[in-house]
Amino acid sequence: MANSGALDQWMTWAFSPTISAVLVAFLITLLSPVVLHYYLYRKSASKELPSFLLLGPLGAGKTSLLTLFANGTASSTHTSQEPQSAVCQLPLSIRSSEDQYRSENDTSARSQPKFLLLDTPGHGKLRRHAQSSLTTASALKGLIFVVDSAAVSSASGLTEAAEYLHEVLLLLQKRHTQGKTSKDPQAIPVLVAANKQDVFTSLPVGLVKSKLEGEIAKVRQTRSKGLLDSGIGMEDESGADEEGNWLGEYGAKEFRFTQMEEHGVEVTTVGGNVRGEGEEKGFVSDWWSWIGENI
């Protein structure tokens, strides 16, 4: 009965025209949508998986890598016409960034993180999907640019890979530069996955890296000359437009991946092979380790 009486008193006060009751009702009306929005936002954000974006020229092995990471086996694939994705989980043998300081003697159970792997078509006319994913993908943790270590030994294969990688790195550089006007955007590391290292005609990882850097320098110079010849950037005597479209260290004759670090982009070149010869399995553990470090 006492509780009933207290409830009656509270109801009488709540619906009374007193200033205190009106003020409390006003605050509840004002704050309820804010609290509800915050709760729903946190709930949706907590379910969002970190993501990695697969890019690279046609035939480099991106889709095979997607199936290998998702299913444990590199199944036969065909040329991708549309983006596709798969939820993957870090293997137990790979440490995540959260476990980097964990003792090797710690035998307590740990939950390996999951992530979303987004595969984009490598055909030149379909690369808009990669650019769109780069700018719209949420929770993006890194890019995996897959190259065929044997294809880059030819002039045409090297040029195709270098031109595409130049476009990707320039997008990341502009993203970082434009983000400085408000707050620094989250750094997005890049893994250059030198695939097909098991092929006899493939180049060693170090040579893949140096050849890509040398060819990107040529692409950069050609693009810069094209801008000058077209008159773009000439209206601004300071050359700000030309500098904004120059990849890496402005005016440098040579290009090195380390030049991207001042633009918030760390580029790492690591070798591997999605498929093995005969009964041998592919070797991708170093790529898994890179994902673990950045997830």
Model confidence pLDDT, tens digit, residues 252-281: 999 999 999 999 999 999 999 998 754 456
User: Percent of the chain at pLDDT above 90?
Assistant: 47
**pLDDT value of position 156:** 96
Coil/strand/helix, residue 94: coil
**Nearest Cα to Cα of residue 120 among 81, 149, 86, 147:** 81
Reported confidence tier of residue 102, pLDDT bands at 50, 70, 90: low
Phi-psi group of 102: left, alpha or beta (phi > 0 → left; psi -120 to 50 → alpha; rest → beta): beta
pLDDT digits (tens, 9 = 90+) for 133-158: 666 667 899 999 999 999 999 999 99
Q: Within 10 Å of residue 133's Cβ, how many Cβ atoms?
A: 20
Q: Please tell me the distance from the alpha carbon of residue 73 to that of residue 67, in angstroms, as a whole number.
A: 6
Higher pLDDT, 11 or 64: 64
Mean pLDDT of 211-228: 87
CA 114 to chain centre: 15
* Closest by CA position to 267, among listed 132, 185, 170, 156: 170
Q: Is the pLDDT of residue 42 over 60?
A: no
Residue with tokens 């991207």: 260
pLDDT of 103 strictly over 60: no
Query: Residue 26's CB: how many other CB atoms inside 10 A?
Result: 10
Segment 220-234 mean pLDDT: 65
Reported confidence tier of residue 169, pLDDT bands at 50, 70, 90: very high
Say whether 149 sits in a helix, a strand or coil: coil
Spatial CA neighbour of 87 closest among 66, 61, 112, 110: 66
Which of 43, 116, 40, 122 has its CA nearest to residue 78?
122
Contact 113, 91 (CB under 8 A): no
pLDDT score for 39: 41
- Tell me: pLDDT of 70 over 60: yes
Give the per-residue pLDDT at 9.
Answer: 65
Q: Which residue has the higher pLDDT, 239 or 187?
A: 187
